[in-house]
Structure 1
Amino acid sequence: MKLLDLPTLLQNNPYPGRGIVLGMSPDKEHALTVYFIMGRSENSRNRVFVREGDELAIRLHDERKLSDPSLILYRPSATVGNHLIVTNGDQTDTIVSALMEDGSFVSALNTRQFEPDAPNFTPRISGMMCFDQEAASIQMGLLRAADEEGLACDRLYYNYPALPGVGRFIHTYETDGNPLPSFLGEPRQVEIPMDAAAFSQSLWNSLHPDNKVALCVRRFHLQTQSSQYWIYNRHTR
């Protein structure tokens, strides 16, 4: 399957919403995770990414402008043993708790559903990369409203080998709209280049200038388990 160019995908989509990429560097030495958020309202745009310890955190840019903290402030990433987790909501905590209690990515997400923000019913998207000395793998989950009224939930799970130079990309919305149309299809297969710094800058430049809020790219060395971060914010904190 031909690999897609992620910057081009972003340039051609004014509002993918929140997006996750999990992949492997071409030299097979690093895992690469990408998480970005976009926003149309002042409340959604009033956020910044910060690194706290060895994880990513979401904080307010201006606390005076906060109108509703629900659904916008959460832990977007976590590392549990040999698992890297990235999600677009507080299901990060659900997955972490499940893994700590001998549960699984799927068993955790089976207890959750899409966000209660009618009429959009924003999908919950989640990704987890597992790595060991033998191989690495990627799991992704999409919890999406099954009907316009939000009465039922589609729970879709995907399992992939982590291949060198290949990433999987999932996002919340197909594009802009009212209501916002949920992501359709399977996570896209995108190219992961060797130069993570240039890749990060290209992604930030490719997100719609009016709607982008923050972007984080993390490169995780599989042997040393050390991380490098590239963080971009609409606002300076």
Structure 2
Amino acid sequence: MSLFGAAEYPGRGLAIGRDADGVPFFAYWLTGRSPASQARELVVHDRELIVRDTSGGPPDDLRHYTAAIRRDDWVIVGNGTQVSELAAARGQQPDLQVALRQLTYEPDPPIRTPRITAGATITGTELANVVVGSARAYDGTPELTEHPSLFAARIAPGTALTTTTYSGAADPVTTNGHPETIAVPCTWSDVTAGLWQSLRPALRIAAITVRLDTPAFTDVVQQAGSAGE
């Protein structure tokens, strides 16, 4: 089962939606080419998901960050420090599509990795005001930033919004950041296994699916493994 495409190197990816039974969830996954990128893990706290270094080296904001923050009635997920920044500013700017316009892509030339972000408000099993978007270098004019996004006032069962930072081969890297809507024909607890199978073993680092109709990150399914397994 491949829910999120079959790119050789998706980089980092996220999805948010409802499974076939209507249960709300988000998924987040990491792949990496370099030893530094491979030396990471996903750490689940009560209401936060952290991407943490495992090498003992110095912190790096492009590789180590808070990937998700949950509050009573909303969640924000993403691939960098923008998650904490957007969460802190949500009281002043709750419209995520507008807030994303203040971001730019990662300072990692020549790749210019997109910053990808998702968010939604949560009421029971309902997801509302769902946004998946990115800040990416404009094709052909990389000094400019564009902000493609998808918005759904409500999410139907069996549906998710998703995007990845990359979309092609591992070398050379092809940037992505274009959101899309996909079908989710399974339960939330099966998403991680299907996602993991779709990732190239030599590049995969970690993946997680988190149920969102609970007040904290208590129901999760994780997968992690060594490169080349």
- What's the TM-score once normalised by structure 2's chain length? 0.87
Where 2:90 maps in the other structure, the secondary structure is helix
Deviations 1:46-72 (A, max 9, x none): 101111223211111121xx3661300
Find 1:225's aligned residue among 215, 219, 227. 215
Q: Distance in 2 between matches of 1:122 and 1:24?
A: 28
Deviations 1:81-116 (A, max 9, x none): 311111011110121122133443133222210001
Q: Distance in 2 between matches of 1:219 and 1:130?
A: 14
1:78 aligns with 2:69: yes
Residue identity in the other structure for 1:100: G
Find 1:59's aligned residue among 49, 52, 59. 52
Is the CA contact 1:167–1:192 (under 8 Å) kept in the aligned structure 2?
Answer: no
Residue identity in the other structure for 1:58: V
Q: Distance in 1 between matches of 2:50 and 2:177?
A: 28
Residue of structure 2 equivalent to 1:108: 99
1:191 aligns with 2:184: yes
Q: Distance in 2 between matches of 1:184 and 1:79?
A: 23
Is the CA contact 1:94–1:109 (under 8 Å) kept in the aligned structure 2?
Answer: no
CA pair 112-199 structure 1, distance change in 2 beyond 3 A? closer
Aligned length: 223
Structure 1, unaligned runs of 5 or more: none
CA pair 5-55 structure 1, distance change in 2 beyond 3 A? same
Where 2:176 maps in the other structure, the secondary structure is coil
Where 2:108 maps in the other structure, the secondary structure is coil
Where 2:215 maps in the other structure, the secondary structure is coil
Residue of structure 2 equivalent to 1:6: 3
Q: Distance in 1 between matches of 2:125 and 2:43?
A: 33
Find 2:151's aligned residue among 141, 159, 164. 159
Find 1:209's aligned residue among 181, 185, 201. 201
Q: Note the C-alpha offset of 1:136.
A: 2.5
CA pair 52-176 structure 1, distance change in 2 beyond 3 A? same
Residue of structure 1 equivalent to 2:225: 234
Is the CA contact 1:5–1:191 (under 8 Å) kept in the aligned structure 2?
Answer: no
CA pair 91-156 structure 1, distance change in 2 beyond 3 A? same
Residue of structure 2 equivalent to 1:50: 43
Is the CA contact 1:169–1:190 (under 8 Å) kept in the aligned structure 2?
Answer: no
Identity %: 24
Is the CA contact 1:22–1:168 (under 8 Å) kept in the aligned structure 2?
Answer: yes
Residue of structure 1 equivalent to 2:174: 181
Where 2:134 maps in the other structure, the secondary structure is strand
Q: Note the C-alpha offset of 1:130.
A: 1.6
Q: Note the C-alpha offset of 1:197.
A: 3.0
Is the CA contact 1:77–1:87 (under 8 Å) kept in the aligned structure 2?
Answer: yes
Is the CA contact 2:19–2:159 (under 8 Å) kept in the aligned structure 1?
Answer: yes
Is the CA contact 1:83–1:131 (under 8 Å) kept in the aligned structure 2?
Answer: yes
Q: Distance in 2 between matches of 1:184 and 1:69?
A: 21
CA pair 178-215 structure 1, distance change in 2 beyond 3 A? same
- What's the TM-score once normalised by structure 1's chain length? 0.84
Residue identity in the other structure for 1:219: R
